[in-house]
Structure 1
Amino acid sequence: MKKGILLIMVLVAFLACKNDSKSKESSESVENQEEKTEKQSDGLVLMKGEFVYFADAAVLQTNSNSIYGVVIDDKMHELDKMAQHYKKEPTDYVNVEIRVKIIPKPENEEGWPFRVEIKEILKVDKSQIEDEVIKLGSE
């Protein structure tokens, strides 16, 4: 009888520890994903990263090194207009904080697997990364 009770207690303790490790793993994976907005019910995601628009291509690289194509629409052009104040060269990145809708890329098009459609622009700032660019030319 005592062995049966001891066995049940060990199993309960084991299962409790197993569930605890799963919840830790799932909370860590959520932290690694893009941050959710405060308004979680609207389906939008808060993304922070570097944005560039050049030659009819718009790209967002997040802080977790994920890269997304950006849907070119009025909101994207509004963001690009705001970004012009922080750029020295047309190919410079700017730091942005935006709320987006993530959509899969159409199968018949090239590019990254997911695109983002900008719904709200929260912050635009100069990129902290200073790339060394060598320019060729005569002065």
Structure 2
Amino acid sequence: MKKLVALLVITLAFASCKNDSKMDEATTNSESMDLNDPNRTDKQNDGLTLLQGEFVYYADAAVLQTQQEVYGVVLDDKMTELNKLAQEYKKEATDYATVTIRGKVIPKPENEEGWPFRIEIKEILNVSASNPETNNVVKLESK
């Protein structure tokens, strides 16, 4: 039994060290971009994030799904504008539209349900139809 506990402690120690090295690499990569570089454009200095992904608004919930993350979208005038632009590319209310936006990523309040991050849309760059092959919606019909 003592050998099993010792093995478990050693395994946990190695696993935690492995995660720390990944965090160190991420920190090093982000530090390699100099935020005070005079060659950065005004858009690069405004603190907004460029995101491209699949946007859907349905039943008072808006979601932006990128390749890396899923964001809840803050319900405001810009989200309403984006939804109106996306409507022309949707065949059904649950269809997605591919969007490119710039916005402010904010963490979700701890006392609320949902995805860990929200995006507050500040600028809409592009809206287009989604690839129908990637629109994974299951439809139930009765005949």
Is the pair's TM-score, using the shorter chain for normalization, greater than 0.5? yes
Aligned pairs, number: 108
* CA distance in 2 between partners of 1:97 and 1:55 (Å): 22
Partner of 1:44: 48
Amino acid at match of 1:137: S
Partner of 1:89: 92
Question: Displaced runs of 4+ in structure 1, greater than 3 A?
Answer: 130-135
Identical positions, percent: 63
* Partner SS, residue 88 of structure 2: helix
Consecutive unaligned residues of structure 2, counting only runs of 5 or more, are: 1-24, 34-40
Shift of 1:26: 2.4
Equivalent residues in 2 for 1:39-118, closer than 5 Å: 39-64=43-68, 66-118=69-121
Q: Normalization by structure 2: what TM-score?
A: 0.67
Q: Normalization by structure 1: what TM-score?
A: 0.69
* CA distance in 2 between partners of 1:61 and 1:133 (Å): 18
Consecutive unaligned residues of structure 1, counting only runs of 5 or more, are: 1-21, 31-36
Shift of 1:39: 1.2
Question: What value does the CA root-mean-square deviation take over the aligned residues?
Answer: 2.5
Shift of 1:104: 0.8
